[in-house]
């Protein structure tokens, strides 16, 4: 499995020279089988715009999988040139919504007067499907969805495998909703442990430092310390700290990472343009 990291920020994009090394686009990963173009995109923040370059101008044929429907995970959809083009075939999946079908709910934010077009007006052939927790096959990837706590709408974490490598994706995760857990950083609850167990790579929300968390957990996110503790407890091989705060400069991310240099699990801050190879060829 080849994983292209295309967007790493939470909440809003972060343009400017102090965000160049780690990147300023909001959440998006592109997954590909070795030797093939990306066919599974996880989240559709502004980072999804960069998929077009990976395809050398060809239309996208594959699946877009959303963890939830907040703006920073959907705002790239109408600017996804490889998907909004004749010849594209896009199957979009997200947690099933309690108050309407997925296309209708997406259109609340993407339709006039808020936006010039609706999801139905995207070019190519698009389908919109709600997911329930469980396992589904998507283009040669096995995806297991589990519900995880996050403020403001139904949110899933995912465990994704191609039979050779396994990735867990918990981009927005507020474990303090379930109690303080170890060290007051949130419960290491069953869904989080199951999704991350023995994974080759875990992408996990690290929007806040441990010190910031008490005042900011209200917004629905995790801390670096929680992500590292969860990855170590679940036996993950590698942690990618993800969903960086949009005010967090490159130098500040470096300083936080340096504090955890002795952690019991291999880790790195997510950086746009990085590629991970998961499985026997890693």
SS3 99: coil
Domains belonging to the chain, first-starting first, are: 2-276 (3.60.15.10)
State residue 214's pLDDT score. Answer: 94
The one-digit pLDDT tens for each residue of the chain (282 residues) are: 999 999 999 999 999 999 999 999 999 999 999 889 999 999 999 999 999 999 999 999 999 999 999 999 999 999 999 999 999 999 999 999 999 899 999 999 999 999 999 999 999 999 999 999 999 999 899 999 999 999 999 999 999 999 999 999 999 999 999 999 988 999 999 999 999 999 999 999 999 999 999 999 999 999 999 999 999 999 999 999 999 999 999 999 999 999 999 899 999 999 999 999 998 744
Q: Where are the alpha helices (DSSP H) in the chain?
A: 51-54, 102-107, 190-196, 213-216, 224-234, 250-259
Cα 121 from Cα 129, distance rounded (Å): 16
SS3 149: coil
Q: What Cα–Cα distance (Å) separates residue 185 from each residue in 178, 180, 208?
A: 10, 6, 11
Q: pTM of the entire structure?
A: 0.96
- Beta-ladder partners of 277: 2
φ, ψ of residue 24 to 5 degrees: the values are -115, 0
Q: What residues have CB less than 8 Å from 17, skipping those under 6 apart? A: none
SS3 141: strand
């Amino acid at each position: 499995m080849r994983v292209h990291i295309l967007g790493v920020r939470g909440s809003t994009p972060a343009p400017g020279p102090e965000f160049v090394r780690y990147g300023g686009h909001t959440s998006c990963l592109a997954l590909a089988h070795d030797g093939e173009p990306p066919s599974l995109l996880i989240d559709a923040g502004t980072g999804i715009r960069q998929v077009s370059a990976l395809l050398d101008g060809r239309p996208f044929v594959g699946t877009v999988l959303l963890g939830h429907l907040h703006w920073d995970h959907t705002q790239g959809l109408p600017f996804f040139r490889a998907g909004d083009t004749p010849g594209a075939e896009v199957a979009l999946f997200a947690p099933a919504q309690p108050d309407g079908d997925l296309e209708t709910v997406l259109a609340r934010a993407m339709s006039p007067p808020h936006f010039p077009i609706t999801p139905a007006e995207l070019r190519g052939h698009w389908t919109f499907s709600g997911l329930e927790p469980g396992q589904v096959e998507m283009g040669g990837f096995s995806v297991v969805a589990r519900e995880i706590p996050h403020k403001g709408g139904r949110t899933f974490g995912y465990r994704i495998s191609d039979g050779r490598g396994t990735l867990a994706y918990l981009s927005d995760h507020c474990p303090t909703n379930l109690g303080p857990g170890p060290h007051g950083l949130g419960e290491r609850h069953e869904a989080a442990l199951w999704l991350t167990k023995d994974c080759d790579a875990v992408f996990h929300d690290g929007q806040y430092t441990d010190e910031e968390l008490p005042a900011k957990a209200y917004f629905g996110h995790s801390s670096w310390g929680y992500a590292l503790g969860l990855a170590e407890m679940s036996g993950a091989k590698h942690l990618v700290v993800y969903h960086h705060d949009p005010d967090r400069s490159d130098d500040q991310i470096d300083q936080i990472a340096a504090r955890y240099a002795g952690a019991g699990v291999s880790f790195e801050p997510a950086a746009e343009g990085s590629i991970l190879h998961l499985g026997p060829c890693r």
